[in-house]
């Protein structure tokens, strides 16, 4: 229940910031173009707070935080007194209308830059993207490894942590081939000279983002430090608690076989649903052997597996693999702009891949997934929440630029047609377009919501 309210609160905060930024873009440019703004609303429905400013604009925060709007004086919507007609939106020239409408998405891109700027100033705790194996038969099998190597570039784009690797790989979905550069982890040489580049054949590279990451699907074996087999947490009423296991116990043997690694231990447990196994642990210098019967659950693949309800002590990453990705006051601007541009490019590519079929519509996410993402990122701290905010802000800006008549992009499409033809698009044509756009948008939202519920 706490997770639900935490996700909801994080979602409202994130969405409120994004909507406020988007609508303020429209508002600010409209005012600069001499348009009278009657209402600035964050949210829909009944107002929970309202105030009329000295400028005559009514500022509102409404109950349903799923959008917002800027109501401008417009003769197409209502009768406008003669002395105010020069302040009506429809009386402005086409380039002013284009500026007002495009200001919303542009504000989202600016907001992303601001969020990333703050993130880089604070510093992002990061792990170097180090691989120690590649999967036989995968596109990455051509990479030769005799020791851990750090990934330095994907398709010519420099990468410094796993987040950047993941983002770069997502942008290559559907590509027939691309390059990956790696270098030995402990080399002191300049990365550009120490790196070796491999060309990967990705014509048969397919993966389901719901089940795996593009990193592992490509065949890259992520280096992970060995997990200390000391129990850090036990779930209440779990098989482990019922068997008498305690926090601090160190696992020595499973079914009379020496403990080797955590993955091996998990394999034994998962294949022993409702079957008794023996565990030998060390507790305060003494060896104890306890019988544990893993409880059966059904995993995401519909398979019955066993669980005992314990968590190991978090592994410690080597010092030479940890770093804070941060910049100074000036460099943070460049880094933030560059990262925003990367997000924009990848987002446009993903939209294109939806139409080509390289990415399934099953990967569309709606408000529930966004809420979960907001809650998770907020749990990790301000830095991660800022990164999440930037990602969603960029996507919100891009979605609004799509040429659907109910979105900003649809209005811009009509205005550019007006620029070319020299006359406005007929209102009857616009109305038909709005209905079509609303139907298509409703369909996309329905698919996204269906996907959200399917993931719960």
The DSSP element (H or E) to which 166 belongs, if any, is: helix 162-170
Q: Kindly report the backbone phi and psi dihedral angles of residue 176, in degrees, each rounded to the nearest multiple of 5, phi listed first.
A: -80, -30
Query: Angle at Cα 373 formed by Cα 367 and Cα 376, nearest 5°?
Result: 140
Closest by Cα among 338, 278, 271 to 307: 271
* Residue whose pair of structure tokens reads 């500026």 in the numeric block: 99
Closest by Cα among 438, 442, 446 to 364: 446
Q: At what angle do helices 382-401 and 367-380 cross, to 10 degrees?
A: 150
Contact 343, 254 (CB under 8 A): no
Assigned token pair, 71: 């109501």
Contact 364, 351 (CB under 8 A): no
8, 15, 405 from 429: Cα distances, Å:
40, 33, 10
Distance of alpha carbon 245 from alpha carbon 279, whole angstroms: 9
Q: Give per-residue burial for 369-380: e unless 16+ CB within 10 Å, then b.
A: bbbbbbbbbbee
Residue 384, C-beta contacts closer than 8 angstroms, at least 6 positions apart: 377, 378
The DSSP element (H or E) to which 337 belongs, if any, is: helix 331-356
163 part of the active site: no
List the catalytic residue out of 23, 78, 212, 304.
23
Closest by Cα among 408, 409, 400, 402 to 352: 402
Residue 347, C-beta contacts closer than 8 angstroms, at least 6 positions apart: 394, 395, 398
Q: Kindly report the backbone phi and psi dihedral angles of residue 158, in degrees, each rounded to the nearest multiple of 5, phi listed first.
A: -65, 140
Closest by Cα among 21, 15, 17, 67 to 41: 67
Residue 29, C-beta contacts closer than 8 angstroms, at least 6 positions apart: 99, 100, 103
DSSP state of 135: -
Active-site positions read 23
């Amino acid at each position: 229940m706490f997770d639900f309210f935490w996700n909801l609160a994080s979602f409202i905060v994130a969405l409120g910031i994004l909507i406020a930024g988007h609508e303020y873009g429209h508002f600010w440019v409209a005012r600069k173009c001499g348009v009278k703004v009657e209402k600035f609303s964050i949210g829909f429905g009944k107002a929970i707070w309202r105030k009329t400013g000295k400028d005559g604009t009514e500022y509102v925060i409404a109950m349903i935080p799923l959008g917002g709007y800027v109501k401008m004086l417009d003769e197409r919507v209502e009768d406008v007194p003669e002395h105010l007609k020069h302040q009506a939106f429809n009386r402005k020239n086409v380039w002013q209308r284009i500026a007002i409408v495009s200001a919303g998405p542009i504000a989202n891109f600016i907001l992303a830059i601001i969020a990333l700027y703050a993130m880089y100033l604070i510093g992002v705790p990061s792990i170097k993207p180090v691989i120690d194996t590649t999967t036989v038969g995968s596109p990455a099998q051509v990479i030769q490894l005799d020791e851990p190597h750090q990934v330095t570039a994907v398709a010519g784009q420099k990468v410094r942590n796993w987040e950047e690797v993941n983002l770069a790989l997502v942008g290559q979905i559907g590509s027939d081939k691309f390059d990956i550069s790696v270098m030995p982890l402990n080399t002191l040489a300049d990365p550009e000279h120490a790196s070796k580049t491999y060309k990967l054949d990705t014509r048969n590279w397919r993966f389901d983002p719901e089940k795996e990451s593009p990193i592992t699907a490509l065949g890259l074996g992520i280096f992970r430090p060995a997990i200390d087999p000391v129990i850090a947490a036990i779930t209440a009423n779990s098989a482990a608690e019922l068997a008498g296991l305690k926090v601090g116990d160190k696992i020595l043997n499973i079914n009379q076989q020496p403990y080797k690694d955590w993955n091996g231990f998990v394999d034994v447990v998962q294949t022993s649903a409702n079957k008794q196994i023996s565990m030998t642990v060390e507790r305060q210098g003494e060896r104890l052997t306890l019988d544990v019967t893993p409880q059966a659950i059904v995993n995401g693949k519909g398979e019955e597996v066993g669980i005992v309800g314990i968590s190991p002590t978090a592994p410690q990453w080597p010092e030479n693999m940890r770093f804070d990705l941060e910049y100074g006051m000036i460099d943070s601007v460049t880094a933030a702009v560059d990262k925003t541009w990367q997000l924009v490019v990848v987002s446009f590519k993903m939209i294109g891949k939806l139409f080509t079929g390289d990415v399934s519509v099953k990967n569309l996410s709606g408000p529930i997934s966004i809420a979960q993402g907001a809650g998770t990122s907020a749990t990790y701290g301000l830095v991660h929440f800022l990164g999440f905010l930037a990602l969603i802000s960029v996507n919100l800006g891009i979605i609004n630029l799509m040429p659907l008549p109910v979105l900003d992009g649809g209005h811009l499409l009509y205005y550019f047609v007006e620029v070319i033809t020299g006359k406005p698009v007929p209102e009857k044509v616009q109305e038909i377009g709005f209905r079509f756009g609303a139907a298509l948008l409703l369909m996309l939202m329905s698919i996204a919501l269906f996907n959200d519920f399917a993931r719960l």
